Amino acid sequence: MGVYSFGKGLPTWNGVPMVGDSNSILTGDVYFVDSGSGTDSTACGKSISKPFASIDYAIDQCTASQGDVIFVLPGHTETIAAAGGITCDVAGISIIGLGEGNLRPTITWSATASSWLITAANVTLKNLITTISIDEVVSMFAVSAAGVTLDTVDFKEYGAKGATGQALQFLLTTVAADDLMVMNCRHKQDTAGNTAQVWIQLVGTDNSRILNNSIYMTVKAATTSICISGSTAVVGCEISGNKIAWLGATVTTPINLVTTSTGIISDNRVAGGAAVVADAAITGDKCQMFENYVTNKDGSASSAILDPTAGALT
């Protein structure tokens, strides 16, 4: 019979670290990061009491495809000041923020060209707060590898109701970013950007899943402002369970996939400005679409209608 224990570090089973609600056994190395007490040195990182100082340094210590995990401690803060300021270039790693609410690790983009690059496959980010400290951040995450997951990677506006700065885009892929998953994220920004905003942009990906996210944003009033975009045809996507308030006077299509896109778009709840109308707010071309509801009103007159509207099956 195995021995389960829980001390100051991770719970273990027969001395093997475990993590997650299902108590999955960790097969790789475990590293810890804390900006408050850490040092970026190879002599550190292996214990909570002696962590690394930065996520990017911790990534460099990982070994590809063995299941290494980086735990980012509560209260950690880190700034991305340039393109690739954090780069996930080691395959098969997980970066997991610890803590609840606003105690979760917070990553701040501080330049318009700042970006977090994910160039290696099978990378998972979980339980992080992201924010900005400058106006017009062009694209926060750039994903160019398959099997990437962003789970509970929230976006929090900067300043009083976003007055200090706005982000134009949360995530941009290349065609190589197949099997992408963006799930359980909460994004909020009350002030529009100065140029059109395309928040999640899928570029020719296969099997992308955008699931159960809550996105509440005031965006640039433009028909080219899109919340979830397939700007090059996506194949076998699933866009389901999202609650989207994509508010802008001339915004027309909060979810917009180009011709020949396929997959499932279902059970989404979409609100927009006056220009958002049923049978236009969600465009999926060859996707199977059902139980999506759209409104362009607020207050007591905000009952939504189906998009596409229900019709007889043939």
- Residue 311, pLDDT score: 57
Alpha-carbon distance of 153 to 158, in angstroms, equals 16
Size (the chain), residues: 314
Q: Residue 276 has what pLDDT?
A: 84
Most distant CA atoms of the chain, gap in Å: 68
Helices marked H in the chain:
55-60
Structure letter (DSSP) for residue 165: B
What's the pLDDT score for residue 112?
Answer: 96
* pLDDT for residue 247: 93
pLDDT, position 306: 75
The pTM is what?
A: 0.90
Q: Pinpoint the alpha helices (H) of 5-92.
A: 55-60
Residue 308 has a pLDDT of: 72
What pLDDT, on the 0 to 100 scale, is given for residue 302? 57
The sign one gets for the Cα dihedral 56, 58, 62, 65 is: negative
Say what the pLDDT of residue 47 is: 93
How many whole angstroms separate alpha carbon 94 and alpha carbon 185?
Answer: 17
In tens digits, the chain (314 residues) has pLDDT values of 344 343 445 555 444 455 554 446 788 999 999 999 999 999 999 999 999 999 999 999 999 999 999 999 999 999 999 999 999 999 999 999 999 999 999 999 999 999 999 999 999 999 999 999 999 999 999 999 999 999 999 999 887 766 777 899 999 999 999 999 999 999 999 989 999 999 999 999 999 999 999 999 999 999 999 999 999 999 999 999 999 999 988 898 999 999 999 999 999 999 988 888 877 789 999 999 999 999 887 765 556 777 777 654 44
Structure token digits, residue 83: 């393109």
Q: What is the pLDDT of residue 301?
A: 59
